[in-house]
Structure 1
């Protein structure tokens, strides 16, 4: 077999595809209707959902890079060549001149208290105030905004095939901006390009450009000056990180006062959030604090989902020479595909804060939830949610009112989940997910096309929109063209159906894993339920008995050969396994307004809906659906009790489920299990690596050593490179810290990490490893 690279512009017929060119990806039953994503939470903000505005009558999507003569007020030969400049000049620009903003910030109560906190250094701190002046005087000028927008449109047209904007909630944004409450756009931090795409999309639709809080360090003075004239709020120049910037009390006070003044002026604000510790969440905490104290009446939060066919590489620092080199490299290399921007329905932050529907009263440390189960082998766990106080910087954790901190974390988690939920699934995400989790050893092109069609239908049925369209052959060809550097395509001259497999390298595995995250998020219920089923199957296979399992014991003959799918599982045990796994999930997968037990029940029900589980029919004297009591009389409840229902007539009996073979897609159960394998495997490997890290180390050095050991494990196995990425290591170590396996100690030199004395014992480490690995159906030590 010879290796043939995938060429983006190579004709489809040369691939030997025997696919009808008129085969559509969108299922016929949906027709012209597409899922509408980004609605408000019905539990936390029912008033915002009830008062939702009429959807855009135009509907559909708008490619902001496709500017033609019809988008201007003029006609003619010259207009067709200058339509982009004419379009930009006709867009409405909301300027925001700076008057006495600096004086108002300096005279604010917070800044004065920060200055008075250290009297011996008060003069030195007052001398630092002028250094914040360029940051405070960030403004939006009309002329420079139009020029930068024109430049961005030209640049992006050379880099991306299209930048599609979903118009479903555009009218809602226009009306919300006219009602008086400032808009706050919240998006997931992926690349430095995110900061430019949202203002550009809003400018092209005559909406107010937000002040963008940019976490990227820009070193060049000229570039900083230009960005600060178009509303980009930059951190202080230098090598400071966002977390280090927050540690300074004066910097924190100045930024809180600046946000307050911007919202008082009616300006829109754009912030990035991240699931990593202390990155972005403090801005939402500031806005919530301002609303709680009455400094700001209300704001309308707008989650924004930005989906890339290929995520541009992120850079922590940007200089002018680096920008020029990056632009040249992008312009002279292959296309980065398309971008999809989904603006969700705005909702009131004050309503979410005052209603108290976003529950925070049952949050517990992760070690209180899971350590008794891990060490004592308990089947039942404490009810509650995992507390993630590390989403805020460290100084927020020392607040005198911890319930305020919990409320801010709940909002951060809700916005991370909402921004992730309204992201569309791109074609590269579907292909990457199939290659990583369904066909890691390679797949024929015809089989891949069949699975792409199946997975697209499943996503649409789950109300998850996709960022592509067209015939199946062209969609698959386009996705493979963009993923070509990370794939191997093997084809023999006599074979018309080539074999496609992921390239066995860390960079390729990490890229495919990054693209597949939206698919994992869409199937998270099924993935949790499938991993719970896998854990119970491992127990059955390890016990050496048949699969007829009840809650009171095990009966049956010895298992001979491979374990078959004729398995009966107890609902209570299955729900408990799913609940335990829910506590291990990183932020963004579960809505914080839903209890963990409810999520676990939904995970089990989702397997019934997709055909993996069916309820076992148990012979009984009275059918389970009979509403009459066994003695034949009907029990009525008093109308004064709102919690009493007809189901109180009889105590609910535990149900059982059987496993069936999925009919639509072979090995569906194992595909769903594999969706969470990247995170769970990195957690298993990190647990195994603790044996060599028993002495305290600085946090940065500890992470480097664990990362190296995980990379060594992946190289030895020659697979699963996606489980040893830097992000996977950070997430795994954060979970181990929350579990109490790793202890944090704050010293002058920094944060030290050490293994808890309880887990110096190899027996306890083995129990921890066994608890996590039970959810990996194909894990081998």
Structure 2
């Protein structure tokens, strides 16, 4: 962590004040009055985020950024005359226009790119392989076949149009966000890489369509090369498509609605690979977004890696980008047309800005180094059913060592040869790169104040809390986040932070200003939309505490087994539901280290993609999860007493001698492994903390449980889309009946649960002309096996 310089930076990153002419609500006045005496403590230390992986890219990590102090933040929306070369009253009124016109823009004309793409061997072979390929390889026939992709190939960057669009986007973002704060720490490294001629590829995790515009805008305002941006949106308007393609936006073909539809065309992947090759040969930068749930967008990274392997491109520098929102704009998965864009822009002009944005650029690292170093190993990857089915069905105590293979993250169209060999290591390595970039970009994201409040209200104070108690929780959680080397996207006094967060989350909360009490009472609104919004905001907190959450769920699984064996483990706590006991809380259960690590290891295999770095083994992650509970004070380590002290070498048995030339000999073979056990802390805060950590993964685990119960009610086989839709409908109906647990009802949760069941072998994929059909496997058509699966998952749910 580095100390933040006291040079006015804190004033720039403070929470933006609300307009003074807006009438304050009664609960806002009470919050300000209640928290008036709370001293400010936030924003004192800033962790160093965005460093390269020390295991996969040590050479890139050794390239230091050149400064040992924090450079501060730059708000893109605060443009004044000091950002221009001119001064005066007229300049203050047109400073934004002058600033954008003064930004350096690297022109990128298409020139003869179309001819080069058509003449590439990859495209020629693809055209020849088609049944309707023109004989003789006529160039006009090739162009006719490639006509749907011609506008994509001719995508270019016109400097004057880019400056105009940049000015429009700045004005639009000023109506949407309070601020756009950019971390300046790694920008010097980007400038240096650009001057050295390195090919930069920016990778971010998709959250909103605003992501596509934020990264080019930041680079434009800091005089860096604006990248060609890969957009997954379907643009219906011809004029809008023409404008976007002239500012470097690579769109989907007009006939494709989604990325999956585009990939169905046999020529699309080939043409896009050739297009990426030509763009990189021109020295252009790229910007690619990857979905954390499905891995969509990762095929572009696979294309770049394929070009490096072939030798067409020497190397590229990957730059993970973390984008954090106080409130994510609701613009996801929409089709954009001129008729829908104009009302959207008109509504933005009359709305009050809501929330800020924090952007972190990570340190660039070499993709070639990651691929050729051999440190990111995939030889231990196994199907999920090989890892967990023996434990679930056969009740084995020891798990199979390995890591879950997620082949669905990368469509098989990129590796046609793997239709016969689905476990090819080349494909696994590309998937490992996708997973690593999802993890790196997520690790760069700052934890916003709305994320902290959402996490506390969902996982710790689900039944409601007072403002003063929420204030103490936010102060504690902020310190824990900073301790884990995560940056926070807010600053200022605690009163301002709480007031700002609750104002943004107010539509999703019930805030009762009780006249007899000074503290307003805050409860999450019990609705599907409100719970899903709070859950989405709290995801980054779950990523931050993933080790502790896995370890806490492993403890819950072992306590569940102890309770089923007849030992009472019910405790009394204000934050945990359960039977009350007269005495103080006591856990006399001894948890074995090996068994606890086994439970954590098994849970690691059920995690969604992006939570674990692929360069770390599952065994190491499970051990770290158990150790993290010791650091938190939840578990207390105790050594198992021995009959003979370890230091008493005379009373030990005779030493076993081995030959010195034995290749399998180790000095530690004759030593006994240290045996440890754990006891749960007797602190009164322990059950509340355990419940808080377990609740972070309860939504994902509960989705798996509910999806498992639906299997016997489905009439299979069904199309995959229809199957996911029925599972999603079942999740919503179950939550509505229970009137709780709405966090398990999102479409992403249903899709992730179905993919997990497919990997487990519960569902079988059948490929037909109409699409992919899903059917329940014969093994899990037996109700006993479904009950075993449900019991295995439900053990990790804290009760």
TM-score higher than 0.5 = yes
Distance 1:448 1:740 in 2: 44
Q: Tell me, in whole angstroms, the C-alpha distance in 2 between the residues paired with 1:202 and 1:416.
A: 21
CA deviations on 1:628-647 (whole Å, 9 max, x unpaired) are 78669999999999999876
Asked if the contact 1:243/1:278 (under 8 Å) is kept, the reply is no
CA distance in 2, matches of 1:690, 1:125: 49
- Taking a change above 3 Å as real, the CA distance of residues 324 and 658 of structure 1, as seen in their structure-2 partners, is same
Determine if the alignment matches structure 1 residue 416 to structure 2 residue 443: no
Q: What is the 5 A alignment of 1:459-470?
A: 459-470=481-492
Distance in 2 between the 1:665 and 1:386 partners? 32
Counterpart mapping for 1:88-99 below 5 A: 88-99=100-111
Alignment of 1:628-777 (within 5 A): 650-662=671-683, 667-777=688-798
Please give the secondary structure, in 1, of the residue aligned with 2:146. Answer: helix
1:743 is paired with a residue of what secondary structure?
A: strand
Structure 2 residue corresponding to 1:451, chosen from 461, 468, 473: 473
The separation in 1 between residues aligned to 2:238 and 2:453, in whole angstroms, is: 42
Q: Given the alignment of the two structures, is residue 396 of structure 1 paired with residue 414 of structure 2, yes or no?
A: yes
In structure 2, how many angstroms separate the alpha carbons of the residues matched to 1:665 and 1:446? Answer: 21
Contact 2:174 2:353 in 1 (8 A): no
> Does 1:171 find its partner at 2:193?
no
Q: Secondary structure at the match of 1:306?
A: strand
SS at match of 2:463: coil
Q: Distance in 2 between matches of 1:643 and 1:77?
A: 80
CA distance, structure 2, for counterparts of residue 271 and residue 233 of structure 1: 10
Secondary structure at the counterpart of residue 212 of structure 1: strand
Distance 2:679 2:152 in 1: 62
Cross-structure match for 1:46:
58
Q: Aligned match of 1:432 in 454, 467, 471?
A: 454
> More displaced, 92-101 or 673-682?
92-101
CA RMSD of superposed structures (Å)? 2.5
Which of the numbers 107, 112, 119 marks the counterpart of 2:124? 112
Q: Find 2:308's aligned residue among 287, 291, 302.
A: 291
CA displacement at 1:703 relative to structure 2: 1.4
Equivalent residue for 1:199, pick from 216, 222, 236:
216
Task: Tell me, in whole angstroms, the C-alpha distance in 1 between the residues paired with 2:244 and 2:85.
Answer: 30
Give the aligned partner of residue 269 of structure 2. Answer: 252
Aligned twin of 2:622: 600
2:77 matched residue in structure 1:
65
Residue 136 of structure 1 is matched in structure 2 by 153
SS at 2:56 equivalent: coil
Match of 1:556 in 2: none
**1:170-215 Cα shifts (integer Å, max 9, x gaps):** 1111111122221000000111110000000111111100000101
Query: Deviations for 1:398-427, whole angstroms, at most 9, x for unmatched residues?
Result: 434711111100100100111111101000
The normalised TM-score by structure 2 is: 0.90
Kindly state the Cα deviation for residue 381 of structure 1 after the two structures are TM-superposed.
1.2
What is the alpha-carbon distance in structure 2 between the residues aligned to residue 355 and residue 741 of structure 1? 36
Distance 2:685 2:80 in 1: 44
Structure 1 distance, partners of 2:788, 2:304, is 43
User: Secondary structure of 1:312's partner?
Assistant: coil
CA–CA separation in structure 1 for the residues paired with 2:474 and 2:167: 37
Q: Aligned partners of 2:288, 2:382: CA distance in 1, in Å? A: 28
Name the CA distance, whole Å, in 2 between partners of 1:245 and 1:704. Answer: 22
Are 1:217 and 1:235, in contact at CA under 8 Å, matched by a contact in 2?
Answer: yes
Q: Secondary structure at the match of 1:589?
A: coil
User: Does residue 1:230 correspond to 2:247, yes or no?
Assistant: yes
Instruction: Supply the distance in 2 between the matched residues of 1:8 and 1:56 (Cα, whole angstroms).
Output: 45
Partner-residue secondary structure (3-state), 1:217: coil
Shift of 1:566: 3.2
Q: Confirm or deny that 1:300 pairs with 2:298.
A: no
In the alignment, which residue of structure 2 is the partner of 1:357? Answer: 375
Give a deviation string over 1:520-565, Cα, whole Å, max 9, x none: 0000000000000000001111111377xxxxxxxxxxx9999833
* Matches of 1:717 and 1:47, distance apart in 2: 54
Hey, what does 1:35 align to over in structure 2? 47
Query: Gapped runs of 5+ residues in structure 2?
Result: 1-21, 136-140, 570-580
Q: 1:235–1:56: structure 2 CA closer, same or farther, 3 Å change rule?
A: farther
Instruction: Return the TM-score normalized by structure 1.
Output: 0.92
1:295-319 deviation line (CA, Å, top 9, x unaligned): 0000000000100011111133101
2:39 corresponds in structure 1 to 23
Question: Within the alignment, does 1:373 sit opposite 2:399 as a pair?
Answer: no
Contiguous gaps of at least 5 residues in structure 1: 1-6, 548-558
Aligned residue number for residue 332 of structure 1:
350
CA distance in 1, matches of 2:219, 2:651: 64
Q: Which moved more, 1:171-180 or 1:202-211?
A: 171-180
SS at match of 1:657: strand
Which sits farther off after the overlay, 560-569 or 741-750?
560-569
CA pair 664-164 structure 1, distance change in 2 beyond 3 A: farther
Which of residues 498, 520, 529 is equivalent to 1:507? 529
Residue 661 of structure 1 deviates from its aligned partner by 3.9
Q: Do 2:508 and 2:524's aligned partners in 1 also have CA atoms closer than 8 Å? A: yes
Whether the aligned pair in 2 keeps the contact of 1:309 and 1:427 (CA below 8 Å) is: yes
Distance in 2 between residues matched to 1:75 and 1:638, nearest whole Å? 84
1:276: Cα distance to partner? Answer: 3.7
